[in-house]
Structure 1
Amino acid sequence: MKFDKASTGHTGLDKAINYLRIGDNVVWQVNYLEDYINYARTFVKSSLEDNKKVIYMRFAAHPPILEDQNQIKTYVLDPSIGFESFTTEVHRIITKEGLEAFYVFDCLSNLLEAWATDLMIGNFFQVICPYLFEMETIAYFAIIRGSHSFDTVARIRETTQLLLDLYNIKGKRYIHPLKVWNRYSSTMFLPHVERNEEMIPVTSSAEVAMLFSYLPKQGFGNVKRHLDYWDKLFMDAEQLLDHKDSLSEEGKLQTQKMIEQLCKLMLSKEKKVLELSTKYFTLEDILSIKSRLIGSGLIGGKAVGMLLARKILQNDKKLNWDAHLEPHDSFYIGSDVFYTYLVQNGWWSLRVEQKSKEGYFKAAEILREKMRNGKFTESIKEQFLQMLEYFGQSPIIVRSSSLLEDGFGNAFAGKYESVFCVNQGSPSERYEQFEEALRTVYSSSLNKDALEYRMKRGLDQADEQMAILVQRVSGDYHKKYFFPFLGGVGFSYNSYVWKEDLDPKAGMIRLVLGLGTSAVNRVEGDYPRVAALDQPMIQPIGNMEDIKKYSQHKVDVLNLENNKLERISLNKLMWEKTGIKMDLIGILDYETNRKIKEYNIKEQEAWILTYEKLFKDTEFIPTIKNMLKTLETAYNYPVDIEFTVNYISDDSLKINLVQCRPLQTKGAGGQVDIPEDVDEKSLLFATKGHFMGGSINQSIKRIIYVDPKGYSNLSSQDKYALARLIGLLNKKIANKQEVPTMLVAPGRVGSSTPSLGLPVTFSEISNISIICETAYEIMGMVPDLSFGSHFFQDLVEEDIFYVAIFPNSKETIFNVDLFENSISSLKEILPKEIKFESVLKVIDTQSQVQIKADLKSQQLKCYKIS
């Protein structure tokens, strides 16, 4: 670092601070912007005379600091694009302009209009100031005295090289250097009064006392002076609420404007969500949310969706929803805490690198690992502790609630983590468990699937702050376990009806006993109960043997003794006599119970979960159907909800609505005529039902075929390697409309257990047009339609058609010879990947293969065109 001297352009000021040095950031704390303008222009005039490159960062609504000159380069920036995008852009400009450029910034206090919190201004300065120092620049900044909290000013003082107090009292200007890095004189830190070109130290105690006597009038010592702008804003909102009954028309208009402002700052930036928020939330509602907010900023899509849905139902007078809904007592960790976590752990330059094309994935991997080990500020940790004290030893769940999550068009279903904290042990142990969960969710914002998802939707450069929703886990104690009676997901529109006379508009649910994790995820060897809300007793599967096989066999619970989430067998849960009302959701498994009796096993019963009594003898189905339709009407859009169900002492059911978001749907499509005269030799496969994605009439240009027997013979390591190879083939599909590709593979695509199917991530099949899962039951590889899971939602959003093929079914034809006898072009596409050519084929069909499916008749055929 050079320590070359530079001039402020003011002889007296140069003498007072012993000149500027290369690397200096100079922060002026002023009452009036005009005073900063005067000194900034003097500095620029001198710098131009010395042939320095001067750059003006223009971003505020106030009058320009510098006048237009050909010698000055001006960048016009928009802070409303968000902290990350704005800060990243400033960082890029500094990089582009290179070493030894001189900068003048607009007043930082004006950033409050866009960001509403001092915390983010402090973060901005802590990111940009060291980079300017590193780039050997000199930069001028200003802040308005009294507009920022002591904490923010302290962070600026700590980071900058020079902090100068500038007062204008009765026409006299005083400069009081508070910090001057690497310089000292006996009078440097005294107030100086400006006289012509001189800066005269004020050494007389009487004159100094008179000068500082003016400071209380400027706000020093004012209680509000200690507060962040954010807190001051909410204090103003509370005052409006306190006088709501006596407000004039102007006051009521002011209240509505306050609601709109706070919704933008705390709830959402998305237009449709904002419209709903300002329509349904009162000022009292917003202040209630604020009272449970840790930090500042937005509470994120998941939290807003949950709160908004509850408010919509509360306003619905057709049904007494208070009698049906379980109340919530959630907390929200604001999005600003996420950025502060990055900044104060020193990772912002890595964050900027991750936003570049070259570093998008590579830097993300490094940053993700670092985020698993970061530290939080003491003030935030204190708020975390208070929240945990409130929950006591009740289990909680730490859920992602990012800015882009659960919005119109981008569900991010399953892309980010949610972590259960069983919350047992000493206070320090419980706190450690919570922080670990928080870091896990934060780091999940940079997992590969999420990055791919954002990139495909053009969101890779968007601000994606991770807010957090902390919820008390809904449920009850069942001996050493804690879980809700039921967990489920619901859809107001059933995109994938499986029978001719089902009404898509009636919606559907996916229901499990216990925690709802297996209701939203594909679970190996386990099946939730799927029900169409217009005909809930009809299942997508046939006889009792299938109903038993494709039902739930394991239950997700929180083990209070082991302090962790567990998946235990339903039979084990029954054996432990945990008091579940099985007669409401199941029927006795007579065959298994007969064997239990034969083996003289006492106090054990086997059940099959069918939910018949729940559906027929309670108001559960009408209530869920009513809920979904009420929310869909308010949203003017199909919705997707997550919920739990508990029964209370009077045997009534309470529904806990834990999530609501717009549902991405595919239309059923028009009727497709299925040809009856297809030659069986040309038929690749045909099935009745077992497909998702509405009607389809699609030509196929490429088929990726995985041989079931060959795959089953691979080692576990090679199965993973084969999955990565399919990911490479997926990347080769530049445009899925131009190269519609069908993947045909045994078992479950996306399985976490390689023996049950391909262990690909969704990002490795995202460009595929049609996915066919084929049964290879001899090795236990069975397809799973997974209606309503996160996998299901991914298929909808990526417009991927799905079909399950059961070769042994009477209603299925699967011509394996056509696949096995086809020529593979794997060598031509990936010349180095020949290890798996006996297991994997890439068949170029030259658009001579057609797939047709009709939703109404449930008929599907895939065949070669002669």
Structure 2
Amino acid sequence: MNEQAPQQWNKFYLKDVSFKNLMTHRIFNVLIIANPYDAFMLEDDGRVDEKIFNEYTELGLRYPPTFTQVSTMVEASEVLSTTSIDLVICMPGNADNDAFTVARAVKREFPDIPCVVLTPFSHGITQRIMNEDLSIFEYVFCWLGNTNLILSIIKLIEDKMNLEHDIDEAGVQMILLVEDSIRFYSSILPNLYSYILTQSQSFATEALNSHTATLRMRGRPKVVLARTYEEAMDYFVRFPENILGVISDCRFPKGGVKDSEAGLKLLSEFHRRAPFLPLIMESSETENAEKAEKLGFRFIDKNSKKMNIDLRNVMAEHMGFGDLIFRDPKTHEEIRRIRNLKELQDNIFSIPNDSMLYHLSRNHVSRWLCARAIFPVSEFLKTVTLEKLRDVDQHRQIIFDAIVQYRHMKNVGTVAVFKRDRFDAYSHFARIGDGSLGGKGRGLAFLDNIIKTHPEFNEFEGVKVSIPKTVVLCTDVFDQFMDNNNLYQLALSDAPDEEILQAFIKAQLPDQFIDDFKTFFEAIRHPIAIRSSSLLEDSHYQPFAGIYSTYMIPYLDDKDEMLRMLAAAIKSVYASVYFKDSKAYMTATRNVIDQEKMAVILQEVVGKQYGDHFYPNFSGVLRSINYYPLGYEKSEEGIASLALGLGKYIVDGGQTLRVSPYHPTQVLQTSDMEIALRQTQTQFYALDMKRVGVDFKVDDGFNILKLKVKDAENDGALNFIASTYDANDRVIRDGLYDGGRKIVSFNGVLRHGVFPLPELLKLSMHNGADSMRRPVEIEFACTLNDDRTGEFYLLQIRPIVDSKQVLDQDIMTIPDDKCLLRSHNSLGHGVSDDIVDVVYVKTDENFTASDNPVVAMEVERINKKFLADGKNYVLVGPGRWGSSDSWLGVPVKWPHISAAKLIVETTLKNYSVDPSQGTHFFQNLTSFGVGYFTIDENKGMGFFRKEILDAMPAVEETPHVRHVRFSKPLHIMMDGMKQEGLVICDTEDAKGNDAR
């Protein structure tokens, strides 16, 4: 039987509940038909809609109904004909009690609208009701002027409307009330609903924020009223697994006849079919007490003045309401009181065996979870009974594991409110404060939700995909800090960065967060990244990434020292808003700095500790658009940059491995041994775990170490991501071998399927771009284990918004006669209109490829002048730029042409070379955003109007190269998705230059 649990786990447990899909049928508009006296009393005693609204508010309920009151059937007909009414309540009429007459008239004219009759209680009315056909009305209630009854009526009808759907959708529970006495159920229902709704407010605290708390209340147990034996049995047969408990009278109709023992018979049958179902009998005939208790039912005396209190106490103990109390089965003394799910998780292993056995055998734990709307765990535990699993300790472990899984499932994709008594190692994402999460914070929450809504992320065996554990200090904490310390005057001044930083570090954070931070330390037990998350960062409409600071601090056993470091880091991030570069960027982007507000992300650093260093096996940046596709690559397939160690190495422009997720085995940098030795990573970043103190610098990398790949080899961190260069055989072998230089090739995860990185990158890219409805850039990090398992963490998502890459015009619509050159095979994306210079190779009848080495020297000399002036130019020439074979093109190296903003390869009639696609300079092209065009006029693939340049005077001319300058900037446009590129020039400008 022990093998059964894991199978049932997947079947039941992993199905989450969406509370927003519950209670979808509501009563919004109520028509009350009352005589003038009752209408006046409703008004004078406090408007009924105001009282109901207040009751809804006090109980945390949403969508209170609105009420319309009329006094006659004529008025009622007019309202019903012109307004959407969900419920009609007919209240007592005149002396002849025409409430029933009015109600029948409503049903004749509007048969589909639910109608309830409220009648006063008297002997005469009782006699009349006995002779009335009440079947056409939903319910008849006894009216004693208590507006709580109206709330109960609305809830009872809503429960009935939603019962079947909500049970099918989520496994919602119900309390079955079997009672035919109008007077009694009119009295008990308001008290029953008051208790259940108050309890639902309590269990809503299991929710992670106020929004989900409100939604969780939709999962409260429903109340179902049955008035005959057959009606009650029908509910039991239809929903046998969803009855939380039964409260039954003893005398009510069975087989169409009043039966004085119908309740005993009904509960006996229920007990036979469901031995653990809580059964409560209530009766005014005290002789039924002994009968009920003899059969094992709890008894409530209707005549008791504290009947409602007795009922609540019995429901709390047997239906799972209130706290879960573990008792000694012999003495019935309380052993442990459990108030919430986390307390159950924390205490499950410390409860004595005999108590555990007692409560498990009676399904108390499962029922308590049901009453708190924790359906997935409850549903699962129902299937793992002691009859199937005769091992109390294993049962404890299953309960513990189920709670952990459930809490993880509910945490993912939800921004919880941080609570010290709830945040632990199984918590995920929480906020401190009520302000904004900021740009990065919103991006993280969005990523978390993407992971939750796409379960395919976590379908790879041995791989966990998530965001790191995160707490966000919202922007209102920033406001409080700035105001309390009077920092705005200095912050907005022209004071040096260091002065601003020191002033911020000396300022005080609110003391109220000290215990929160210490709780966070205990929960993550990892180094912490303190990241900026301003309102403007990662904006959908403007570039604003990498402007503010991110600091990291090591994890220490000394929590007070760690607290001092954390406080200094938070204040340093706040200060970075007002550093010189930030202010300059604000001005450049036309933002107002005093409107900027900063949230701060506290997040576990992904990685492992190696001695005094801490870093992940690799980090990366993924873009859903590839503006430099090579070979079989397509722009829409995206591109990733991978690097050993912390991702700061990538952001700082370090040597990374460029790979397309769709072509992981075709990596340019590892396609040739010489390129691999020259263009793969030789250094990486790691957090210095020894650097302790509050001496924070303006440079947020002050405690980041730059190490050599050899250090990672010594740490044992290169497994599956490195190859070994064999100098003797001059070959690179996949894997780690003694001796030989280690090449960071990532071949284990890209070529040999050690870890499903390409698949994870594709999922991240497509789900991220689809969810954001635009191209995205995603940062990630990964830890790999020796057993080929690992954790893949998504760290940040932002839309690709680069002012230099905004192309708002279809370049295919621009006519050729406006262009200096056009390419149908280009790399790069964006617009540039700040270049006036073109350097091109003279290709007259005297051109010969044998001169290419000399051409390289002449171009290098011109390039140096541009570097000295800090300017850029367009470079055009035949063949492959950078070819090592001078017969195929000009053999320049990158430093010789590094000031070129656009490089163009052309063909001649007698000199046609296959295009290189800029592979020789590819890393530099992508790093610096340089365009690379290929034009093959022999095949009609674009054109180059060299005659325009030939007609212009030269700024400089050598035997093989000309440099010309336009008086107005050239307009360079590149469409990286279509591989189309062109350069627009003002031909009149060229003529003017010629004339001069």
Task: State TM-score, norm by structure 2.
Answer: 0.42
**Greater RCO, 1 or 2 (C-alpha within 8 Å, sep 6+):** 1
Over alpha carbons, which structure has the higher Rg?
2
